Structure 1
């Protein structure tokens, strides 16, 4: 059997622990039971914690551990669940988890994180030079703290050698299904998804992305430019005019803006407009043409192509998935 150990700590998200345990533990059994076939468990999954004590997750949910860190032994997979509380506090109070990750990556063990659990991997240094993902809302903070990590927050799952990361929230089930396919086979992964009634068609976090979050920087002038764009996104203005308002040349504005945020002023304007358009699609009955004009564009076709490129869905598809009527 494939040995998986989940590293437990206080204020983790309970579902990123119990969900993984349930899904992996029932691989080869749940579907087989429904289909009248012999049941063959494939994974040995246990929650481990400091001293084997129970952990108190977010929302005051208490989960009993199977054993302590010192009893992990030789395993195939170590998994770090989502941090549900303060990230800095979680890292500061769980140095033993960071030490375990450093030890087990040297052993060649598969190391996996879900959502903000990637902060533990990065803090241990095992993501340096590797591709990784995390919850989209923490992307800018993650980049600032760990510049040597190749962060791709739009991806739901990243794999780089022995280190895997999954994105925000419920991406634990995407990772669990991926592990079932990796260690067992595709058929068992599909059967597990069917047994648990899970959607296997997710590949990206783009449609959930709040695209104008990158304000974790110290350039106050650039922040002022961002705030102006946030308020005047629908207006028609030129880069040279904008630069002049802040006593800069267009070239200097582009350089400082990109240094601070990682993108150009034009790209930032586009992402703000996209974010506003997403809100209109979610809560209003306005046509896509009307929304296109409200966010500062004239051509519906060009806007729709840009929207799909940045969000991963067309405006119509996004409305169908996230509008109030869809929910």
Structure 2
């Protein structure tokens, strides 16, 4: 089944029907974002009648489902005939080696796949699809936060961690979090039309649905910056990770002179804004090395470096090894790695 295909039930004017498989300690936000998008598209106003959309919550036992935050969802039903649904959405929970796989749920997912019902893996629900043997040869979207977990647990699977969701025909996977609303809106638009998808998003106070290829937010800077001007400057630099921005332009954006900007950076962080900006883009490159399959050349370009040699030279100076070696080390189990998540920064104490 090709991405973007429309399935028979809804094309015949029937309501969009979705079955939810809630695994133990499932993550609440992607579930709530997804089902609320359906709820708001299902009826006029905010009356919550299941007219244009139907949804059913299911667990292996039919008992209420406990989420990772402790809230429970009820009522839940035992697994129903998968052919009752246009999609079956499985939502995973906290990754814990001590938790055993829900073999009943995995068997149900295989049954649904055999019935040619499209399967959606939200958040760590993608892990369940893999455990069920249903993602062989498929692209699998995962949050950057769980990227390394997936590589370690399923080394034959190639995770995609630089986008919100992946539509691979009858397998759809989503990074989770608020992207659950984007994927739900994508499916609502496919089956019911753009107006109903937009209606849901507007009531949810979302401007519009982000497309699947929209990049996941990458955490780059972490730390408390006391100087408001420096803090604003860093926010601008984070918005220009893919292109070098001149210091004159940066100063103009934050309403100061280049000389004052450089002085404030040195007083606050101990480095000038130009070096800080380059280090920020290098840290972004480090993240891309760890969490995407992009080539070193592509990463250098995406981080705003003129050529691969330029990128590699600065990368080696910052991290002690060239990008190619860093990628090899990152793929070795148990290897010590430079933290790709955050550029830790602290304000210098006022003198």
Higher RCO, 1 or 2 (CA under 8 Å, sep at least 6)? 2
Q: Equivalent residue of 1:59, what SS?
A: coil
Q: Please give the per-residue CA displacement for 1:230-256, whole angstroms capped at 9, x wherever unaligned.
A: xxxxx97958x957xxxxxx8xx956x
1:41 to 51, 68, 86: 51
**Deviation at 1:145?**
2.1
Higher relative helix content: 1
Q: Please give the per-residue CA displacement for 1:78-128, whole angstroms capped at 9, x wherever unaligned.
A: 101141x334344x2411111111111121111001111111011112112
Q: Aligned runs of 1:67-216 on 2, under 5 Å?
A: 67-70=77-80, 74-83=84-93, 85-90=94-99, 92-200=100-208, 202=210, 203-208=214-219
Q: Determine the C-alpha separation between the residues in 2 that align with 1:50 and 1:209.
A: 40
Cα distance change of structure 1 residues 177 and 19 upon mapping to structure 2, 3 Å threshold: same
Q: Please give the per-residue CA displacement for 1:189-229, whole angstroms capped at 9, x wherever unaligned.
A: 1121112212435422143479668999xxxxxxxxxxxxx
Structure 2 length-normalised TM: 0.58
Q: Equivalent residue of 1:20, what SS?
A: helix
Q: Please give the per-residue CA displacement for 1:272-326, whole angstroms capped at 9, x wherever unaligned.
A: 5x841xx55xx869xxxxxxxxxxxxxxxxxxxxxxxxxxxxxxxxxxxxxxxxx
Q: Determine the C-alpha separation between the residues in 2 that align with 1:237 and 1:74.
A: 53
Query: For structure 1, which runs of at least 5 residues remain unmatched after alignment?
Result: 217-234, 244-249, 286-327
**Deviation at 1:8?**
1.6
**Deviation at 1:6?**
0.5
Q: Is the 8 A contact 2:162 2:215 kept in 1?
A: yes
**Deviation at 1:160?**
0.8
Q: Determine the C-alpha separation between the residues in 1 that align with 2:314 and 2:33.
A: 48
**Deviation at 1:154?**
0.9
**Deviation at 1:164?**
0.5
Cα distance change of structure 1 residues 194 and 160 upon mapping to structure 2, 3 Å threshold: same
Counting matched residue pairs gives: 240
Q: Determine the C-alpha separation between the residues in 1 that align with 2:184 and 2:113.
A: 20
Which position in structure 1 is the counterpart of 2:61?
A: 51
RMSD: 3.7
Q: Please give the per-residue CA displacement for 1:154-174, whole angstroms capped at 9, x wherever unaligned.
A: 110101121001113222111
Q: Is the 8 A contact 2:23 2:92 kept in 1?
A: no
Q: Determine the C-alpha separation between the residues in 2 that align with 1:260 and 1:125.
A: 28
Query: For structure 2, which runs of at least 5 residues remain unmatched after alignment?
Result: 1-14, 222-283, 292-312
Q: Aligned runs of 1:220-299 on 2, under 5 Å?
A: 254=324, 257-262=326-331, 272=340, 275-276=342-343, 280=345
**Deviation at 1:137?**
0.9
Cα distance change of structure 1 residues 237 and 129 upon mapping to structure 2, 3 Å threshold: closer
Structure 1 length-normalised TM: 0.62
